[in-house]
Structure 1
Amino acid sequence: MGKRVVITGLGVCAPNGVGIADFTQALQNGKSGIRFQSKLKDLNFSCQIAGEPLVRDNLVNHYFTPLQLRGLNASGIVFGVLAGTDAWKDAGLSIASKETPDWNAGVIFGTGILGVDKLRESIHQIDEGKVRRLGSTSVLQTMASGISAYLGGILGCGNQVTTNSSACTTGTEGILMAYERISAGKADYILTGSCSDSGPYIWGGFDAMRILPSNYNSNPAEASRPMSATAVGFVPGSGAGAMVLESLESAKRRGATIYAEVLGGAQNSGGQRGEGSMTAPNSEAVQRCIVAAVKNSGVESAAIDTINGHLTATAKDPVEIQNWCEALQRSGHNFPYINSFKGTIGHCLAAAGSIECVGTILQFKENKVFGNVNCNDLHPDIENLVASAKIPHQTLDFQPNITAKASFGFGDVNACVIFGRYKEPE
């Protein structure tokens, strides 16, 4: 048996709320962070809306030194440092001294692609023969591990400091990586999360694939429609979510607030075989991942009372619900409550799993199940599988005990984590 692992800190930089208080209120009230983006219209995008955190310049000054801000042009790093630093402070952890790192503290913070705007800026300077004007931070802002390097240095972490990348599964995968390291006794606490850059150079490829909604440019808040019969594609988003995972003995020793416990989880791939492809999940793999996560967590599928799905507002939503039903062997009124936060934040790509995991943990804190938006016209295939009462449109008063959270990413990769309400050792 490994060490028990709990969650002691949360931070978020989401399209509908920067900071835990604003994000919580937004989820409770179904407030959307999806807005019209004039820059996308100017560039002739078909989909001219997106979810992007609104970060004030004076807020950024509290997280970076003037030297760090010089030439900083990587939105993902800004989002990640805000969320990660907030989670660290929320956990009551101190920043290591200037002389010695904290050997028991680590960072596992993922991303998909980082510093695209900085890279574009650098390419232009190189093409113009101005390579010496790139500045000393161009490499730090464009390497994938830039976000973990920034956070590791700001906090002074001396344990594993690394970046993972598995498309939309990144954030959920990072939680499992941190859980396994702490459970094995290799670290006391790890800051884990993920971030995604924002802007046309991130979202353009998806617009070219024609998988984004183009008929909601004048009505952005209704565009992202998970589980809806009228869903026509996901809305791109960006941001970052972060949490501190910690061994139970360390948390008890520090007297830390415990939000929830990580009971276990699983990761796998469909190998892009069968119905699986670079962009679509293999249903057998998804079901195997969920089943393995439940088994690894030591719980019965019947004990799961809430699910936060991947549910991107595409034609694959009914398939995902079918996979949950098959994996848990539950349907109808016996199905857990299920929700998707993408109706209000869009699909935040590499940051999706971490932002949504933060929202999932907040349901334990608030004793709520946050409502789904834009799915009053529930897809008939979903309605045939799950009782509509299990897909609440408004936030419900409910005390979750065991929650399953899954993410499924491009490349046919899957991750499922099981969270539990913390109970004192007997």
Structure 2
Amino acid sequence: MNTQSTNIRVVVTGLGVVAPNGVGLKAFSNAIQKGVSGIRFFKELQALNFSCQIGGMPEVSKELKNNYFTELELKNFNSTGILYAVIAGMDAWKDAGLNCKPTAVDFASGTVFGSGNLGVDKFRESILNIDAGRVRRLGSTSVQQTMSSGASAYLSGKLGLGNLVTSNSSACATGTEALILAYERIKAGKATRMLAGSTSDGGPYVWGGFDALRILPYNFNERPEKASQPMSASASGFVPGCGAGALVLETLESALERKAPIYAEIAGVALNSGGQQNGGSMTAPNPEAVQKCIKEALNDAQITGKEIDAINGHLTATTKDAEEVLNWSVALNRTGANFPYINSLKGMTGHCLSASGSIEAVATVLQMKEGFVFPNINCEKIHPEILKIVAADCVPRKLVKQPLRYAIKASFGFGDVNACIIFKQKNNDPR
């Protein structure tokens, strides 16, 4: 492979998703178009005295697990983050028309599959055993279920990946960052294809810290599907979630040679940090850096803000939503009715933490492929500060059927880190 090439075009050829409102591409696509919520009540959270007793967690049956893992692999296996990653990753690989039962190492293919924390339930089980002096009962897979690279390691073994195999971690920006790192690997001529994505565990040991921060809604325990309200005047905090999303990225040349499906092309990317300065902090973004990240992605794509048809924002249903919309407006230089469509998947899934960027990227690419903009549910009354910036029609509350040429996805994570990626629609003649 040519390690000096800068003219390599990178396309998306496979998608996989394990989301609170849909496991598998068909179920997920149907759910986001119909505005189906995957947020539900958990008795366990109630028993543990959580204020917010709801969350978004994928429902994975034993039968489905058996399609991806052997009985031996599932023995003493309780790392849901790895489970979600393997299902989403292998589904994306299969969707791209690639072999899920390799007989040799594929040195042209690798993975960047990120996580925020992994194997939390396994850690808890291990700590309890160690504290009780039962170290020999930890099991032979306790390390691989809890190491931060567990998701990418499992996927490498399942798919025979021989190129770069690694995991990244940048809080809520993890998934979008993983896509960008994988894209840059291919653009540099160092890989033909990369499986990119991210995953997140869920449950009380992941969500408890956020409940303690009092940034989760506490008055929707009896109506969980109404709790997550991005861009709404009545938004009262984000709902925690979990899951995994995966995309297969590869060179256009390889995709054409394989006659693979092409969902979209990656037109431009950007990563940066606000350095926790100028209003930025461990938990809040620096507006200057957010705007710079968006502008750099536009510059990388060699387009202007006027060419963006849709934004899939970070938009978590907190007080920062209006500030994020303002950042988009400044960076794109668009306001009022001239503003693009903007939506947030978190109304349906909750905030899937380190998995959010990849799950939302899958949703963004599906919108482009099928020509729709999914609705913002639970946003009957748009926040008045947002309406000062954009027209109400730019925040769709119902499904919009609309061809999209350019769509932009961004994630802004704890630690004041930002990731932005621009997808370009592919027509029947991808050249």
TM-score range (shorter-chain normalised) is: over 0.9
Q: Secondary structure at the match of 1:135?
A: coil
- The yes-or-no answer on 1:150 pairing with 2:143 is no
Question: Could you say what secondary structure the match of 2:410 adopts?
Answer: strand
Per the TM alignment, residue 97 of structure 1 is displaced from its structure 2 partner at its CA by 3.6
Distance 1:405 1:364 in 2: 12
Matching residue of 2:174: 170
Please say if 1:421 is aligned against 2:417: no
Instruction: Supply the distance in 1 between the matched residues of 2:426 and 2:302 (Cα, whole angstroms).
Output: 15
SS in 2 for 1:275: coil
Separation (CA, whole Å) in 1 of partners of 2:338 and 2:168 = 36
Q: Hey, what's the Cα distance between the residues in 2 that align with 1:175 and 1:264? A: 11
Is 1:372 aligned to 2:345, yes or no? Answer: no
Match of 1:9? 14
Partners of 1:2 and 1:185 within 8 A in 2? no
Measured after TM superposition, the shift of residue 377 of structure 1 is 0.9
Distance in 1, Cα, partners of 2:180 & 2:102: 29
Q: Does 1:405 align with 2:409?
A: yes
Q: Alignment partner of 1:265: what SS?
A: strand
Where does residue 35 of structure 2 map in the other structure?
30
Percent identity over paired residues? 60
- 1:93 equivalent among 74, 79, 98: 98
Letter in 1 for 2:421: V
Mapping of 1:137-286 within 5 angstroms? 137-286=141-290
Q: Which amino acid aligns with 2:386?
A: I
Residue aligned with 1:311, SS: coil
What SS does the corresponding residue of 1:288 show, helix, strand or coil? helix
What's the offset of the Cα at 1:425? 5.4
Is contact 1:106-1:189 (8 Å) kept? yes
Which consecutive residues of structure 2, in runs of 5 or more, have no partner in the other structure?
A: 1-5
Residue 241 of structure 1: how far off its partner (Å): 0.4
Deviation at 1:2, TM superposition (A): 2.8
Q: TM-score, normalised by structure 2?
A: 0.98
Check if 1:63 corresponds to 2:68: yes
Instruction: State the Cα distance separating 1:95 from its structure 2 match.
Output: 3.5
Separation (CA, whole Å) in 2 of partners of 1:150 and 1:109? 10
Ranges in structure 1 where 5+ consecutive residues have no aligned partner: none
1:174-233: CA deviations, max 9, x gaps?
110111111111111110100000110000000000000000001101100000011010
What CA deviation, in whole Å up to 9, does each residue of 1:129-164 have, x standing for no partner?
111111110000000000000000000000000000
Q: Secondary structure at the match of 1:215?
A: coil
Q: Distance in 2 between matches of 1:274 and 1:336?
A: 27
Maintained 8 Å contact 2:102/2:159: no
1:120 aligns with 2:145: no
Aligned-partner residue type, residue 54 of structure 2 = I
Greater than 4 Å deviation, 4+ residue runs: none
Q: Contact 1:2–1:184 (CA<8 Å) still a contact in 2?
A: no
User: Any idea what SS the aligned residue of 2:172 has?
Assistant: coil
Task: Name the CA distance, whole Å, in 1 between partners of 2:93 and 2:265.
Answer: 17
Q: 1:44 corresponds to which residue?
A: 49
TM-score by length of 1: 0.99
What is the count of residue pairs matched by the alignment? 425
Question: Quick check: 1:132 aligned with 2:136?
Answer: yes
- SS of the equivalent of 1:375 reads coil
Structure 1 residue matching 2:154: 3-state secondary structure: helix
The answer to whether the 8 Å contact 1:96/1:102 transfers is no
**In structure 2, distance between residues paired with 1:76 and 1:177:** 20
Aligned-partner residue type, residue 28 of structure 1: Q
Cα displacement string for residues 247-296 of structure 1 (whole angstroms, at most 9, x for unaligned residues): 00000010000000011110000001120000000000000000001001
Which residue does 1:387 correspond to in 2?
391
Q: Partners in 1 of 2:43 and 2:278 — Cα distance?
A: 41
